[in-house]
Structure 1
Amino acid sequence: MNLNTESPVPSRRRRIAISALLLIGLLAGAAERSAEAADFQPVDSLRQAAEAFVRAQAGAGADVVADSIDARMRLPACAAPLDTSSTNGGGGSARWTVSVRCTAPQAWAVYVPVRVVRRAAVVVAARDLPAGSVLSAADLRVEVRDTGSLSQGYVGDPAQVVGQVLSRPLAAGTSLTPAGLAQAAVVRRGDLVTLVSRSGGFEVRGQGKALANAAPGERLSVENNSSRRIVQGQVAADGTVEIPL
């Protein structure tokens, strides 16, 4: 005969006692973790401080993103607002390094890399274009890109470059740069050009033969038809050559 009168199933009172002990343990652990967290600087605050600093410098229209910070980092909680400054970057830079510092109660510093993305309309080649191409509207298209990565500059309006000449080949999808463009020649070698000399209110005109190709603003050697002398002048947009007196 079984003389053990204890029920195999815990009594209601015992179950309540066990639950209470578990709850007390959970609350104690949470309190301990909360106290521990209060002793350390939140990692997100470092990222937010770095982003706020760069955003204030970069201005409107820029997306600012700090690199991820190791969530296991343990820095003493700062008693004062975090101090921020740039160790490199600035102006139109795409990459910054921001020093985030605390002075009290314990001094520390963290260096946070921050990336700046500025998006704008950029003119790119619509197809492969060889050097010497005179650009037409059909050669170009506009795409929105991160201009921070375009270290050689960019062109924002196709109308600015239609009629200009590529000084280097350009693959389809590649952005145009001011340095890669030149004005198309308005005067060709052997052309008959008008020579213009001005002094005060007087103007003297003559004819001459161009000795080279030239675009507006460039200097050109011209053989004067009357004197057969070689003179130099600056080419105007209309193809005339201005000769200083």
Structure 2
Amino acid sequence: MKKYENFICRALFTASLLSVCLLKVHADDNQSYTPEQLTELAEVWVNQQFATADTDTEVQLTALDNRIGNKSCAHAPEFSLPANYNPRQTTVQVSCNAPLVWQLFIPARLTEWLELVVSRQNIAPGTALTADMLEIQRRERRLVRGAIVQEPALIVGSRNKRSLSVGQIISLQDLCLVCRGDIVTIQISQGGLAVSTTGVAQQDGSLGDTVQVKNQQSGRNISSEVVGVNQVRIKF
């Protein structure tokens, strides 16, 4: 009987020892992350999400509080953004499901920037814009209103309908690319044949607007689309 009891004791001891060893192996497989490391990994992940986008997005994360302590994970932590996140203020979720389930939320500020055309000087209404009056600056997208201009060459020669101040963002609504009384080029394209003639604009128009132009040869008013500075295209 004693011999049988000794066998059971040795078996229990061996099982306990094996269990401790297995726990140690699993513990060694886990990676410990400090709050600082998790914040850095989250910032790298968010930047990668916007790296392939056509927008210039700046990411600022609020660092995790060191008082939360280190977090262990059997695999790389997972990151995600809310499905319908605010484009300016959101949170990055950091989570893991082994050896323990945990998740953290890191506040993030996303700033989207645009390169756009602004006025280099005060410009009085009705001035024909020249290249030296314009420059490109980087501005926050949330501050931009209207149809912006990103290439100065597209509006050189147009006229502003209202006063422009130094540093003011220029939108197409501020300009007439075709102004009433201007001599404009009329482009006509149909069936692979392209010709052009001249006319007199009967009204102001910006890019994409439909304006009436009086054909100088026929004297007829023609409905046409503004496609550039002093350029229109007949709409068939």
Supply the distance in 2 between the matched residues of 1:136 and 1:215 (Cα, whole angstroms).
17
AA aligned to 1:212 is Q
Give the one of 178, 190, 203 matched to 1:212.
Answer: 203
2:154 paired with 1:157: no
Find the counterpart in structure 2 of residue 44 from structure 1. 36
CA gap of 1:167–1:84, structure 2 versus 1, over 3 A, is farther
Give the one of 92, 98, 108 matched to 1:114.
Answer: 108
Give the one of 36, 45, 65 matched to 1:53.
Answer: 45
Q: CA deviation at 1:138?
A: 2.7
TM-score scaled by structure 1? 0.56
- Unmatched segments (≥5 aa) in structure 1: 1-37
Supply the distance in 2 between the matched residues of 1:204 and 1:138 (Cα, whole angstroms).
33
Which protein has the larger Cα radius of gyration, Structure 1 or Structure 2? 1
1:1-245 map, 5 Å: 41-59=33-51, 64-74=59-69, 76-87=71-82, 93=87, 95-116=89-110, 121-129=115-123, 133-143=127-137, 145=138, 147=140, 151-152=144-145, 155-166=149-160, 169-177=163-171, 179-185=172-178, 187-188=180-181, 211-214=202-205, 218-221=209-212, 231-234=221-224, 242=234, 244=236
Q: Quick one: percent identity of the two aligned structures?
A: 23
Quick check: 2:88–2:111 contact (8 Å CA) kept in 1?
yes
- Which shows bigger deviation, 123-132 or 205-214? 205-214
Supply the distance in 1 between the matched residues of 2:177 and 2:127 (Cα, whole angstroms).
10
Q: CA deviation at 1:49?
A: 2.2
SS class of match (1:173):
coil
SS class of match (1:57):
helix
Tell me the alpha carbon deviations over residues 13-36 of structure 1, each in whole angstroms, 9 at most, x when there is no partner.
Answer: xxxxxxxxxxxxxxxxxxxxxxxx
Q: CA deviation at 1:70?
A: 1.8
| RMSD (Å) for aligned C-alpha atoms | 4.7
AA aligned to 1:51 is E
- Unmatched segments (≥5 aa) in structure 2: 1-29
User: Which has the larger strand fraction?
Assistant: 2
Supply the distance in 1 between the matched residues of 2:168 and 2:196 (Cα, whole angstroms).
45
